[in-house]
Amino acid sequence: MRGFLYALTVSLVMGLAYWAYQENIKTQAVLSYVEALQDDIGHARARLKILRAEWAYQNRPERLQDLADLNYDGLKLLPLSADHFGRVDQVGFPELPLLDQEDLRPLDVASRRIGQ
Amino acid sequence: MSDMPLRAPLRPLSQILPARDRGENPDIIERKNIELRHETQRDPARARAQGRLLVLGIMFICIFAVITVRIGLLSASEPIEPRSQKAGASIIAQRADIVDRRGRILATNMETHSLYVETAHLVDAQGTARALAQVFPDLDADRLFKAFTGQRKFLWIKKKLSPEQMQAAHDIGDPGLRFGPREMRLYPNGNLAAHVLGGASFGREGVHAAEVVGVAGVEKSFDERLRDPAQSGAPLQLSIDLSVQAAVEQVLYGGMQLLNAKGAAAILMDVHTGEVLSLASLPNFDPNNRPSLPAKLKAADSPLFNRALQGVYELGSTFKIFAVSQALQMGMVTPETIIDIRGPIRWGKFRIKDYHNYGAKLPVFEVITKSSNIGAARIAQMIGAEEQKRFLTSLGFLAPIPIEMPEAKGGRPLVPSKWTELSTMTISYGHGLSATPLHLAVGYAAIANGGYKVTPTLVPNPTVAKGERVLSETVSKQSVDMLRSVVTDGTASFGEVAGYAVAGKTGTADKPNPQGAYHEEKVISTFASIFPANDPKYVLVVSLDEPEDRTGSEPRRTAGWTAVPVAAEIIGRIAPLLGMRPLIEKQTRADITLTSTN
């Protein structure tokens, strides 16, 4: 009986040791993964920061002004001035094509879209 | 129990019985036996106790040793991020960005590298020195070689490297050349708003990191806020509007070139909240590469000098409206009251005269529109020195303006040491008291917003408590109307901007020369304006240093010919950017009408 208990205890300890070893390895793996992720996040943040800075740099007013001047022939961009304001009815909206009556029925439209 | 040694009985019958027979007390035998037993037990017990003490002592020594070693290791090792903690916003320890009122970036950080040399690891000192001098033309190969072979073990080569420079330095391939990560402050808009932003440089420096500290402007005044890790990188928003600032600087620069001025300043401020939307001072500098203070130049001529905040100038006739508003407020005059303007006024050897002769009498509103020095002086005489001083103090003209810029402390107004009646008279038309353009903007804001003093600020401030009331609503309205007529009928006729009803006052002040007198041909010309006049929203102060319009037969320097057209151009450009629809004034109703009036 005692021998059996000894054997049981020893195997239990071995089993637990194996489990702890496994858990340790898994934890280490997860920690390295998290570390890699954090590294990625850090790099992504740095990249985002650079992109934001670059966006701000590319859109600096001085450059936009130069670009507007360079492309004046094509774009005809001028500084906004008071005479650019007007009434809504002075705006030449493009005429909208008449709507297809079928398109006004939502069920039909939905089923047709699904069909496509 | 069976293993334990047999204990000798304390009362062995073999001794007790004979003792009883002898008539002795058997307890004596017991006591003797107890004593004997204790004697045999004492030594092992002491040995055991000593052994325990020893173990305890060793344990304490071990614990202390572990703690000491740990402390030593922690203090000596480089900090590392905890591996198991979850990443969050809290790990961002970068200096916060600065953005404008619409969230556009004014200042941000960029990762770069520094280059240093550990001379012990240098393989080819001479070759490295020569190669470095080729990569960085500002370095001298001989001097580098001397430094490499001297006593020093460590020296910085460059604090910031561009990626190309880094690659070139890397390609030299000497193991003594080392790179350290650096965070550098980047101002993507270059010179734009340079004086507001100021600049940053490195504080305490290590190989692996360096502190970025603000050295001027908002970078300095908000340094703690920008570095605070608890803010977790939340950007600092300013009240500056990037596109407005760009337009102001562009027009101001153009005006400065056309009018041959050596400097210029402009401030655009919300009259109700005190938010500064644009603050420009020319010449300016690139905060990415902030110049050092030039030794040869006077401080006031350096590009680092912020004319809008630090430039203390006599602001000329722009001050007249303060005398008139105060007289209106005190009930001494109405806009129609006739003032005797016969002159010149003689005061000792001092004479007050007008630019032109406007006759003998002028109503108060024409004192403003025609800009009569004598008229303003007469009104100031009515007010008196004490009252004038009190009023100008309440408008903030006697102390530096408390705006969030370290430079503002340098804008301490120059006031007469003795506020005599003559000072009162000269101050009424802007001589004898020097203040900054920002002071003027604050004063005009109070006139424009219905009489409340405002405190200018550089952070968006939508809900602002109204400041102290210095003028009544009526006086404020009357004053703005007078300023409006300066533009429609007076000295600032070039200030008219179709649709934006500009009101304002010109001021041309002779510059004082080092001898204490005034220059004949050097002026500071200023235009302080309010727009739109019917419901004032913004105050714009434009000031030009030594302008000269040389297009006519003789040079023109008065503000009406210099600062006013520049200010008008600025208003024409920025008012639409500020989202203001043009207003159609009743007398000039044209073919377009408005959908709404703001």
Q: What is the identity of the amino acid at B41?
A: Q
pLDDT of residue A111: 47
Question: A28 in contact with B at a CB cutoff of 8 Å?
Answer: no
- Model confidence pLDDT, tens digit, residues B177-188: 889 888 888 899
Q: What is the DSSP string of B216-229?
A: EHHHHHTHHHHH-G
Nearest CA distance, A40 vs chain B (angstrom): 11
Residue B82: pLDDT band with limits 50, 70, 90: low
What does the radius of gyration of chain A's CA atoms come to, in whole angstroms?
35
B350-352 and B345-347 as β-strands: parallel, antiparallel, unpaired? antiparallel
| Chain B residue with minimum CA distance to A37 | B87
What is the distance between the alpha carbons of residues B72 and B452, in angstroms, rounded to a whole number? 62
Closest CA to B540 of B242, B324, B280: B280
CB neighbours of residue B314 within 10 Å:
25
Minimum Cα–Cα distance from B246: chain A residue: A61
pLDDT band at A110 (very low <50, low <70, confident <90, very high): very low
Chain B residues with CB under 8 Å of A53 CB are 105, 108, 110, 186, 188
Q: Is B336 exposed, middle or buried (0-12, 13-18, 19+ CB in 10 A)?
A: exposed
Structure confidence at residue A100 (pLDDT): 65
Choose among B81, B250, B576: nearest Cβ to A82. Answer: B576
Nearest CA in chain B to A41: B87
| Pairs of residues, one from chain A and one from chain B, whose beta carbons lie less than 8 Å apart | 87
Name the residue with higher pLDDT: B161 or B67: B67
Give the C-alpha distances (Å, rounded to integers) separating B507 from A86, B430, B504. Answer: 35, 8, 10
Of B270, B282, B279, the closest CA to residue B309 belongs to B279
Nearest to A56 among B94, B188, B595 (CB): B188
Max Cα distance, chain B (Å): 155
pLDDT tens digits, B340-385: 888 788 877 788 888 778 888 889 988 888 888 899 999 998 999 8
Contact B500 A82 (CB under 8 A): yes
d(CA A48, CA B231): 19
* pLDDT above 60: residue A15: yes
**B92 interfaces chain A, CB cutoff of 8 Å:** yes
Phi, psi (rounded to 5 degrees) for B226: -70, -30
User: What sign does the dihedral B307-B312-B318-B323 (CA atoms) show?
Assistant: positive
Cα pseudo-dihedral B478, B479, B481, B484, rounded to 10: 180
Is the backbone peptide bond immediately before B532 cis, with ω within 30 degrees of 0? yes
C-alpha dihedral (B20, B25, B27, B29), degrees to nearest 10: -70
Average pLDDT, chain B: 86
Q: Does the global pTM surpass 0.80?
A: no
pLDDT at B5: 62
* Sign of the alpha-carbon torsion through B254, B260, B263, B264: negative
Give the largest Cα separation in chain A, rounded: 105
Q: What is the DSSP string of A45-71?
A: HHHHHHHHHHHHHHT-HHHHHHHHHHT
β-partners of residue B506 are B527
CA A35 to chain B, closest CA, distance in angstroms equals 6
- Residue reference for tokens 């590392």: B80
Q: Do A41 and B188 touch (CB under 8 A)?
A: no
The pair of structure tokens assigned to B456 is: 């200018």
**CA dihedral of residues B402, B406, B410, B411 (deg, nearest 10):** -40
Percent of the residues in chain B that have a pLDDT greater than 70, as a whole number: 93
Question: Does residue A35 belong to the interface with chain B, where contact is any CB pair within 8 Å?
Answer: yes
Contacts of A31 in chain B (CB under 8 A): 83-84
Residues of A within 8 A of B532 (CB-CB) are none
Question: Which residues 186-245 in chain B show a CB within 8 A of chain A?
Answer: 186, 188-190, 192, 242-243
Residue B584 banded pLDDT, cuts 50, 70, 90: low
What count of residues does chain B have? 598
Q: Residue B597: which pLDDT band, with cuts at 50, 70 and 90?
A: very low
Q: Are B256 and B291 in contact (CB under 8 A)?
A: no
Contacts with A88 from chain B: Cβ below 8 Å:
595
pLDDT tens digit sequence for B316-349: 889 999 999 999 999 998 888 898 888 788 877 7
DSSP 8-state assignment for residue B187: -
The long-range contacts involving B533-536, CB below 8 angstroms and separated by at least 24 positions, are: B533/B480, B533/B481, B533/B483, B533/B484, B533/B501, B533/B502, B533/B503, B534/B501, B534/B583, B534/B585, B535/B598, B536/B271, B536/B448, B536/B449, B536/B480, B536/B503
Q: How far is CA B54 from CA B45, B352, B418, in A?
A: 14, 101, 86
Chain B, nearest residue to A38 by Cα? B87
pLDDT, mean of residues B411-416: 88
Please state which of the ranges B290-299, B434-443, B533-542, B566-575 shows the lowest mean pLDDT.
B290-299
Categorize the per-residue pLDDT at B543 as very low, low, confident or very high, splitting at 50, 70 and 90.
Answer: very high
In the predicted structure, residue B1 carries a pLDDT above the cut 50: no
Tokens coding B319: 């001050």
CA distance B583 to chain A (A): 9
Q: Which two tokens stand for residue B504?
A: 């304002």
The chain-wide mean pLDDT, for chain A, equals 84
Structural contact between residues B364 and B334, judged by C-beta atoms closer than 8 angstroms: yes
DSSP class per residue in B48-111:
HHHHHHHHHHHHHHHHHHHHHHHHHHHHHSPP---SSSPP-GGG--SPPPEE-TTS-EEEEEEE
Which tokens is B299 given? Answer: 């401080």
Residues of A in contact with B81 (CB under 8 A): 38
| Structure confidence by residue, pLDDT tens digits, B20-48 | 888 888 888 889 989 988 888 898 999 99
**Chain B window 93-122: which residues touch A at a Cβ cutoff of 8 Å?**
94, 104-105, 108-111
Eight-state DSSP code of residue B10: S
Q: What integer is the mean pLDDT of B294-309?
A: 79
pLDDT in tens, B464-507: 778 888 999 999 999 999 999 999 988 888 988 888 889 999 99
Q: Does B595 touch chain A (CB under 8 A)?
A: yes
Please list every residue in chain B whose beta carbon sits closer than 8 Å to the beta carbon of residue A34: 83-84, 86-87
Q: Which residues of B touch A80 (CB under 8 A)?
A: 573, 576-577
Query: Of residues B216 and B78, which shows the higher confidence score?
Result: B216
What average pLDDT does this structure show over B535-556?
Answer: 89
B108 vs A38, A49, A59: nearest CB: A49
How far the first Cα of chain B sits from its last, in Å, is 106
Residues forming beta bridges with residue B347, ordered by sequence position: B350
Does A61 touch chain B if contact means CB atoms closer than 8 Å?
yes
Q: Which of B84, B108, B111 sits opposite A52 (nearest CB)?
A: B108
